[in-house]
A and B are shown apart, each in its own frame.
Chain A
Amino acid sequence: MTVWTRQQVQDAAPDAASLKAAATLATPAPWSQTGSTEALVWGRCQGSGGSPYQVSVDLHGPAYRCSCPSRKTPCKHALALLLLWSDGSLGADAPIPEQAAGLTAPEATRSAPAAPPDPEAQARRAQQRLATMDAGVADLRLWLTDLARGGLAEARGHGGRWWSDQAARLVDAQTPGLADRVRRLGPALEARPDWATHLLDELGRLWTLTGAWLRREALDADSRADLRVALGWPIPSAEVLRTPALDGTWQVLGAHRDLEGDYQQQRTWYLAPDGAVDVVFESGGRGQALGVPQLAGAVVTGRGHRYPGHPPRRLLFDGTPSPSATAPAWPGGSIAAARKAASDALGVSPWRDVFPVLLTGVTFDAGRVVDADGDAWPLATGTDEVRLLALTGGHPCTAFGELEAGQLRVLTLVVEGEVIGL
């Protein structure tokens, strides 16, 4: 079948809004595994959801299929796919996005404010916020000691409201980071067989975190920045962009999306030009679109700024990084070395949840990742181990993942030179 003209694609659109939405998606960035035959055009489009939408168009008919929830036929994904096909940009793998949407925080892309902010008013607002936060933290510590006196078993008997009420108080106290930690406790009590150990650990971590906050004046600037972020007071990107820049090529190691609950998060891990591992962190409410995820193994050239704090550090790109032809490198190590690095980071910020881990020569077996030395880590709950086995066949491979609570969540595999994002 001859390739459709742009006009034909436009004629297929159910309305102007769909076409407009499709036009923004008609770049190679969110697309993977695209292809076409005489009768069929297909591809995967990464939407805001966890797994990409599967799109296919049967050209005779024509019949449109897409796994997105849209009721429009064809939906914007199908139209975007046809636009790409019509432009002749289909089929070629497009691991490097042209538009790295979502990499840049909104504040950073905005032009500079017309008038400089009033420094005095700013300081006053900061003082007010600190006072609110301090009060919230003190209230949380009282709540924690009450809980410790009554016992975990008694706490477990409280309904879900009891936890969410405390979380709501922490939101009021402008400490959403703490609120999020408390909110997650309630459901975990029902779901986890090891609920008592888990709850005790989490309470201990909250206690350490809040204790450190109250002593923040005695801590160094990086630790104070870590604390501020952990409590949920984001550092404005304008401020971050004033920190020293790091120019060079950045390689996407892997990405994790957490879409559970009312709060979505996306972490994209980069191997920085200086060999450190940094993370671009995005979050939003339910239904809010996160940035287009980067494909593991992509290499971009750009200017990055690191947020203050201890490594692994949060990253902000100044502008849109451009695709680079540099081949990705995977300088992984052993489990023992990664464990040491994670322990060191934990020694500095004991409330840290997630550590990036790049391992070489590992295999998977019986729910564990095993390296050449015979050291092992359990795989994160919910890991599709059969998939890992199918992809690796028991041969040593390179794996990138996140270490969280002693378990490894594998995000990327490198098998015989092929990079596979999971």
Chain B
Amino acid sequence: MSASDVAGWLAALEASALVGTRRRPPPALPAIGLGPASEADPAEQLLDQAGLAAALRRAGGPASRGAAPAAAAPEALPEAPAAAAQLLMLLLDQPPVEDAARNSLIVAWLWRAARSGVRAPHATLPALLEIARGDADVAGILPRVWGTRGTWLQGHVDAPLGAPGAEPALDRSAMALPERVAELAFLRRFDPPAGLQRLEADWDGLAARERAGLIRELVAGLSSADESFLEAALDDKAKTVRGAAADLLRRLPGSAFATRMGRRLRGALVVERHPGAAPSIELREPEELDDDAARDGLTDAAEILDAIVAAAPLEVWREGTGLPIFQIAAVVPERFLGPLTAAAQAQADRPFAEALYRRAPDDHLLPLLSDDSLTEAIVPLLNPHHPRARTAGATIAHAPRPWPLRLATSVLSTLHGYDDPLRYFRQQVGPLLLEGLPVSALGAARRTADSTFGTASYRRSLLHAIQHLTFVQSIEEAFS
């Protein structure tokens, strides 16, 4: 008797069973050497056969065949210490902190592991991959600590990390803009050249609105490798696209665009030296514009100088005036402070940012300041008698987190007061504590929590921050 006889019998048996023996009698049993009598009631015959079929299906039938997959290569990194591994599992299975804070602790754990040159335990990889799919910060650091097992596992899961860019969708023309933006943002975060390549491939088929929306995403991972694409986009039909390209090019002080702007700035700069007094700087409107000016966006006569200042390399100021930075910032005409601040931001130039902040404290410059300058900039505002005390909370919101220790302890002692002398301060600063307090401020935070009155929501924020820092400290301990 062959396997096909059995398969045919099983199919016929199921067909009878489906409609019932009243409509279709059970099939004849194949000759397999055992089996129930066939003269019984058809329903009983069917059930007899069903019992036999069930036993056959479980015990017999050809075994399926398979081949072992190619195995993962041996690990080059050692596994994280046991205590650290347990903390990670705790975070993954039942985080001892608010859900929102969990991922940031996972990120902290992963960075700490990367710093120690160890890898995440194999058992944690599925959960980490799952979280990384929805959290770019986790996705960003995970590949550094997932070891060879993680790389290998990527090839065996349904949706590997980076899936949005892994395989182009079959019909890319049908993709909506938000979908494209998400895809490009993801790629730029983890593989900027691949992101540029994808955008270039799609570019000609995109509408102006899509081109403008997408080109802005190149800001992530922006480098000189993107310059030629951006330079070409200055010739785009749409003004929004040209503007977005120019905005990105001014972040690349070495680009041809920035060099052209620098040449124009050099031509406009006039320094007058006054014996015994500070020099002065003037900017003269160019008498006639060069051929590229319109292409570089210099079309509005009233704003030409502002656009040049905002886009020219800051180096040109140093070379062109021969003055030290603090002096440039001190004497530059007031109307150019805004564009110059924009240039310092775009070029992430700390010396200019610090000098400009001393001249005119613009909160947008805070992320560029050194720890000491940042502390000196903000601590005085915490005095209730300072003229800008009312806006201290809003200013702190612009400061990069975590804060330098001295700033953090000053914030905590301000919070310590009974009567919220700065009004709204607690309300504004409470939600920032979680990210703002550095681990080194843990002791001060605990003392503040022990002795502070205040609204329930503020206290909750402080306690969450302490809980968070405690865990961060535990991670630190577990790795050391």
Quick check: A40 and B66 within 8 Å, CB to CB?
Answer: no
Q: How far is the CB of B124 from chain A (nearest CB, A)?
A: 8
Considering the chains assembled together, what is the distance between the CA atoms of A390 and B60 in angstroms? 32
Considering the chains assembled together, what is the distance between the CA atoms of A201 and B53 in angstroms? 7
Quick check: A40 and B50 within 8 Å, CB to CB?
Answer: no
Quick check: A390 and B65 within 8 Å, CB to CB?
Answer: no
Q: How far is the CB of B202 from chain A (nearest CB, A)?
A: 32
Considering the chains assembled together, what is the distance between the CA atoms of A35 and B84 in angstroms? 10
**B259 at interface (Cβ–Cβ under 8 A)?**
no
Q: Which of A368-422 contact B (CB under 8 A)?
A: 368, 370, 372, 374-378, 384, 386-387, 389-391, 393-396, 405-406, 420
State which of B21, B67, B149 has its C-beta within 8 Å of the C-beta of A148: B21
Q: How far is the CB of A90 from chain B (nearest CB, A)?
A: 11
| Neighbouring A residues of B50 by C-beta, 8 Å | 148, 200-201, 203-204, 207
Quick check: B67 and A365 within 8 Å, CB to CB?
Answer: yes
**A33 at interface (Cβ–Cβ under 8 A)?**
yes
Quick check: A60 and B477 within 8 Å, CB to CB?
Answer: no
Q: Which of A317-368 contact B (CB under 8 A)?
A: 335-336, 339, 342-343, 346-347, 350, 363-366, 368
A contact patch SS:
mixed
Considering the chains assembled together, what is the distance between the CA atoms of A333 and B84 in angstroms? 36
| Neighbouring A residues of B47 by C-beta, 8 Å | 144-145, 148, 203-204, 207
| Neighbouring A residues of B153 by C-beta, 8 Å | 386, 389-390, 393
Q: Interface size (B, Cβ < 8 Å)?
A: 68
Quick check: B86 and A148 within 8 Å, CB to CB?
Answer: no
| Neighbouring A residues of B129 by C-beta, 8 Å | 386
Quick check: A200 and B53 within 8 Å, CB to CB?
Answer: yes
| Neighbouring B residues of A262 by C-beta, 8 Å | none
Query: Quick one: closest A residue to B89, CB to CB?
Result: A33
Quick check: B17 and A376 within 8 Å, CB to CB?
Answer: no
Q: How far is the CB of B37 from chain A (nearest CB, A)?
A: 12
Quick check: B51 and A205 within 8 Å, CB to CB?
Answer: yes
Considering the chains assembled together, what is the distance between the CA atoms of A365 and B64 in angstroms? 13
Q: Which of B183-191, B209-217, B467-475 contacts A (4 or more CB under 8 A)?
A: B467-475
State which of A144, A150, A396 has its C-beta within 8 Å of the C-beta of B68: A396
Interface centre among A200, A342, A347, A389 (most CB of B within 10 A): A200
Known pairs A148-B20, A207-B50, A394-B70; A65 contacts B94 (CB<8 A):
yes
Quick check: A395 and B466 within 8 Å, CB to CB?
Answer: no
| Neighbouring A residues of B48 by C-beta, 8 Å | 204, 207
Binary CB contact string for chain B from 66 to 85 against chain A (1 if under 8 A, 0 otherwise): 11111110000000001100
**B46 at interface (Cβ–Cβ under 8 A)?**
yes
Q: Which of A151-159, A216-224, A281-289 contacts B (4 or more CB under 8 A)?
A: A151-159
Seen from chain B, the residues whose Cβ lies within 8 Å of a Cβ on chain A are 13-14, 17-23, 41-44, 46-55, 57-61, 63-72, 82-83, 86-87, 89-90, 93-96, 122-123, 125-126, 129, 149, 152-153, 156-157, 446, 463, 466-467, 470-471, 473-474, 477-478
Listed A/B pairs (25) with beta-carbon separation below 8 Å: A33-B86, A39-B470, A51-B93, A60-B470, A61-B463, A63-B467, A144-B47, A149-B22, A151-B17, A151-B22, A151-B23, A204-B47, A204-B50, A204-B51, A205-B55, A363-B71, A365-B68, A378-B64, A384-B126, A386-B157, A389-B157, A394-B69, A396-B68, A405-B58, A406-B61
